[in-house]
Amino acid sequence: MTTRHGRMTQLLLQREVTFRTAPSAAAFAMKYDTGFEFGNNDDRQEDPTINNDPLMVKQDAGDPVPTGSLPAILCLNDIGQWLALLWGAPVTTGAGPYTHTYTLSLNDRLSALLELGYLESGSELYERWLGVMVNTLSWNVLEAAQSINVGLMGAIQVDPKPGAVFDAAPTAYAKNRACSKQGIVADVIGSNTLGNIVEASVEITNDLEGQSYADGLAGFGDFMLGQPAITGTLRGVFDTTSNNLFEHGQQQTSKALILQSKNKAGDATLTLTCPNVEFSEPKHKIESSKGLHVTVDYRAHAGTAPTIVLVNGIASY
């Protein structure tokens, strides 16, 4: 019996030129963690036929489509690939370090080939999907273990299963992990009026909706972009000054919000800038006899387009 080991798996990613069409091999080996889950939704159909049997008839095949999620460390090299699928290819400047700027828009999102390989020698197995898109991306700037979670949706799983790896020599970026001690949360860096923030989460969504075309082909023929959103939660130390997080929520104040992650050396950064966010109105809560905190939800709203600026040593994405 062949025993499969999580350590002996590999995840390849490569952007497609044409949706649902495998590109020429030039893939990237992406970092991922335990908890990775991706595959077809169970879309089998019940058969209610009365059959003179105490048990129901076997289900019929439906039109399954792949979905799932990918947890990974917040690697400031790898994340450029996920951001390109989230918001589109960046505008890159510089000559090392390089500055990659991703801007939120209503442009069509990019798609990719994704392959999970089980690499035990002599019993290799490959699962490959086409038309894979990033629907959500989330992280917490001040979490001790800096990680991301990527919500994925795909058009179709390749069937029959591939007999060989998609790319035998993929590119693998060096680890460049963000450090929680380097996290910054502010409306203006260097002149912050949000107070002392101790937790800051963010979730970015594309609100994608798969479209099943009447073309005789399995899976989704396209994805429609829904209502993009940037939301999250801030938790700060409660204070009674005239300009604080609690008051911003009460007064429905619009503020800029900058969430910045850095590596330990400080020479690689990920900066999400939302020029306009609104805060939920908080309730008064006495949760401890010690120091008090205030927690508010936030949502980016219309105005100047948000950006994500990634600075690192990678020349292009």
Digits of tens for pLDDT over the chain (317 positions)? 566 666 678 999 999 999 999 999 999 999 999 888 988 887 788 888 888 788 888 887 777 789 999 999 999 999 999 999 999 999 999 998 999 999 999 999 999 999 998 877 777 889 999 999 999 999 999 999 999 999 999 999 998 999 999 999 999 999 999 998 889 999 888 888 888 888 899 999 999 999 888 888 888 899 999 999 999 999 877 676 656 776 776 677 788 999 999 999 999 999 999 999 998 877 666 566 566 677 889 999 999 999 999 999 999 99
Q: What angle do CA 247, 251, 255 make, to 5 degrees?
A: 80
For residue 8, give the nearest of 121, 114, 115 by alpha carbon.
121
Q: Which two tokens stand for residue 78?
A: 């790898």
- The pLDDT score that the predictor gives to residue 6 is 64
142-154: b (≥16 Cβ within 10 Å) or e: beeebbbbbbbbb
Q: What pLDDT does 32 receive?
A: 95
Return d(Cα 200, Cα 254) in angstroms, integer.
17
| Tokens describing residue 269 | 């950064």
Q: pTM higher than 0.95 for the full model?
A: no
Question: How far is 72 from 35, CA to CA, in rounded Å?
Answer: 9
Contact call for residues 137 and 148 (beta carbons, < 8 A): yes
Report the alpha-carbon distance of residue 147 to residue 119 in Å, rounded: 25
Give how far the C-alpha of residue 231 lies from the chain's centroid of Cα atoms, to the nearest Å: 13
The separation between the first and the last C-alpha atoms of the chain, rounded to the nearest angstrom, is 41
d(CA 300, CA 254): 9
Residue closest to 109 by CA, chosen among 179, 205, 195: 205
In residues, how long is the chain? 317
Which pLDDT does position 256 carry in this prediction? 93
Distances (CA, A) of 69 to 5, 243, 250: 20, 39, 35
**Per-residue pLDDT, 116:** 95
